[in-house]
Chains A and B, each alone.
Chain A
Amino acid sequence: MTSPIVEVRSITKVYSLPSGDVVALDNLSLTIEEGEFVAIMGPSGSGKSTLMNQLGCLDVPTKGRLLIAGTDVRTLNDHDLTQLRLNTLGYIFQRYNLIPLLTAYENVEYPYILKHRKQDDTGHVRDLLESVGITRKMARHRPAELSGGQQQRVAIARALVNNPRILICDEPTGNLDTKTGNQIMDMLSDLNKKGNTIIMVTHNPETAKYADRTVIIRDGRIAV
């Protein structure tokens, strides 16, 4: 049996605020195998986004061990964490988070350039955009000129451009209507079938049905 791609071993995340410490994650453990599609649900403020930030290496836990593709992220410095984000992880956020100054095409190409240190001359970016349903004409637009659904498609293409092993999706359909949301979910489902590991936060039980398994979080802990 291969080792799990994500291994969370009793991590704790504490935010120190002037008004006192906030324990966002409390001794939480979780294991995700390669190729799994996991939905994470739970009430607002329960720590879902905090967990995603740890899994996505945007932040490091206060305590505990977090292994991503076999590496303990707490041993990595900022540079290596950033490299991990660039090469191993892909992000899809609720707010799309595209770079407003770049066109749709450039947004997708950006991580490619960061990784390969050159522009894409293989057609990879164009193909990816086409596969998520963004035409060449649309690809020349800035994010502000695209609809929410179109922006999220661009975001998916961007997340995929460096062939990440794990896709981190924090409420990817949260800002979309049901129909567009379902289209996005079909896309993620397809990606999962092609072997991508997907970890997704959602508030919608219908959306969670796309996943192999649902993890419920309450007060920073896994609720059974």
Chain B
Amino acid sequence: MKIFSDILFTLSARSIRLNMLRSILSALGITIGVIAISAMGMLGANMTSVVSAQMSSMANTMTVTAYTGGSSGGWSPPGMGGGSNDDSYITDKQYDDIYQIASRYGTVYPYYSESDTIYTKNDQKGRATIYGLDKEDMQTVLTVANGTLPRSENDVVVGTTLAGRQDLEVGSRFKIGDEDEQQIKVRVSGILAETGLSSSLRTDNAIVMTDDLYTSFYGGEGKYDQVTILLDNVNDSAVVKNALTSKLNKREDVISVSDSSSMASRVTESISTMVTFMQAIAAISLLVAAVSIFNVMMMSVTERISEIGILRSIGTQKDEVMRMFVYEALIIGLIGSTAGVILSFIAGYIVVALLIGSTAYFFGWNSMMYLPIGMVIGVSICIVTGLYPAWRAANMDPVEALRAE
């Protein structure tokens, strides 16, 4: 049986070799499709791994915001202008309750936040998130890289990215607020250390001032945008969340509590949505490849009509003819997909290195599994598209086929 298959396989292989160029071209289509699918998959997997690793480093952060209806646990990452909605805030009274419950488990601090226009040296315009924080909390939460925390009334500290962009140094003075509205003049007392993603308060692009300065300018004293809880022990998060909601949301929902695990799952989810989208685009390239394989197979069948007639006339069964053409599609698929897998490995590594900047997770199974997946998809597509032409060949009338020139 095995050697018997060989003669049909030999015919398929020789037919491919005879039509080398077009076979290679259609295999190339599959190669590109497989690269697209696998590389996208690997990119997504690596992105997810890197982000979740970063997330877990801030797993001890919980946030409490005013309940806004709709999505419960709506966690807006700190430093992303979250809480700028003026209608929803945590009141002083609620903060006291939160503090009472959560302070046993870690550090609790409220803050105000706003997004505003700033004018720096030579009236250079910019935009930044402004945080208002209690002086004592500043000492716990912030790390100053250069200079000091605010000491006099109009002192602020700025994030390192913002400082770099707006040319701010310790001692620089600049204005906050729109030109045609009220403005406030402040002095930079310190530049903050870089926080990256893994911080409860992302200040790289922000200005942090004392709560006194903040409320004197923006008003809204005792109306906090968010309360952050830094747990001493990550495992307490469920306990704290329960205690908070059962106390404050007893009658109606007034606060939303979320821990960063729910944020992590959101981020992972949005990454996977994005990757699915990219893979859908990659799938289109595979579809194009499938059409080209189909075309090549139909050409092969048409060109070999009289050969099919000969094969059938001297005793080749229908299913054997069918198999011969499926083999042909299979060989093209195997060649194209193998090349695709090898190139995906290389392209994936480069893309991950360039776009994510870390190949730490590249060789993990979550990322590597897209190679066999790409292979299987590539080969299956070839076989599936080869089926109809093969069926056509097998069901040709032997006499008609023999008459063909």
Q: Which residues of A contact B (CB under 8 A)?
A: 53, 56, 58-59, 78-79, 82-83, 85-87, 91, 93, 97-102, 106, 110-111, 113-115, 117-119, 158, 162
* B7 part of interface (Cβ distance < 8 Å): yes
Which of the residues B7, B18, B309, B310 comes within 8 Å of A113, measured between beta carbons? B7
**Chain B min CB distance to A35 (Å):** 23
Cβ contacts B288-312/A at 8 Å (1 or 0 each): 0000000000000000001101111
Interchain residue pairs with CB less than 8 A apart (6): A59-B397, A91-B313, A97-B310, A111-B314, A114-B4, A117-B1
Do the beta carbons of B11 and A91 come within 8 Å of each other?
Answer: no
* B3 part of interface (Cβ distance < 8 Å): yes
Do the beta carbons of A115 and B313 come within 8 Å of each other?
Answer: no
Which of the residues B1, B18, B306, B399 comes within 8 Å of A58, measured between beta carbons? B399
- Quick one: which of B355-405 are within 8 Å of A by CB? 397-399, 402
Do the beta carbons of A101 and B315 come within 8 Å of each other?
Answer: no
Which of the residues B4, B11, B18 comes within 8 Å of A99, measured between beta carbons? B11
Q: Which residues of B contact A91 (CB under 8 A)?
A: 313-314
Q: Which residues of B contact A85 (CB under 8 A)?
A: 313-315
Do the beta carbons of A101 and B18 come within 8 Å of each other?
Answer: yes
**Chain A min CB distance to B253 (Å):** 73
Q: Which residues of A contact B312 (CB under 8 A)?
A: 58, 82
Do the beta carbons of B315 and A58 come within 8 Å of each other?
Answer: no
Q: Which residues of B contact A58 (CB under 8 A)?
A: 312-313, 398-399, 402
CA distance in complex: A111, B4 (Å)? 11
* B103 part of interface (Cβ distance < 8 Å): no
Q: Which residues of B contact A86 (CB under 8 A)?
A: 314-315
Q: Which residues of B contact A119 (CB under 8 A)?
A: 3
**B side interface size, CB within 8 A:** 26
Which of the residues A78, A101, A110, A111 comes within 8 Å of B14, measured between beta carbons? A101
Q: A59-B399, A117-B4, A118-B3 are in contact. Are A101 and B318 (CB under 8 A)?
A: no
Beyond the given pairs A97-B309, A162-B315, 9 more chain A to chain B contacts, judged by CB atoms under 8 angstroms and listed by A's residue number, are A58-B398, A59-B397, A59-B399, A79-B318, A82-B316, A91-B314, A101-B14, A101-B15, A117-B3
* B317 part of interface (Cβ distance < 8 Å): yes
CA distance in complex: A183, B309 (Å)? 27
Closest to B312 in A: A82
Do the beta carbons of B315 and A111 come within 8 Å of each other?
Answer: yes
Q: Which residues of B contact A102 (CB under 8 A)?
A: 10-11, 14
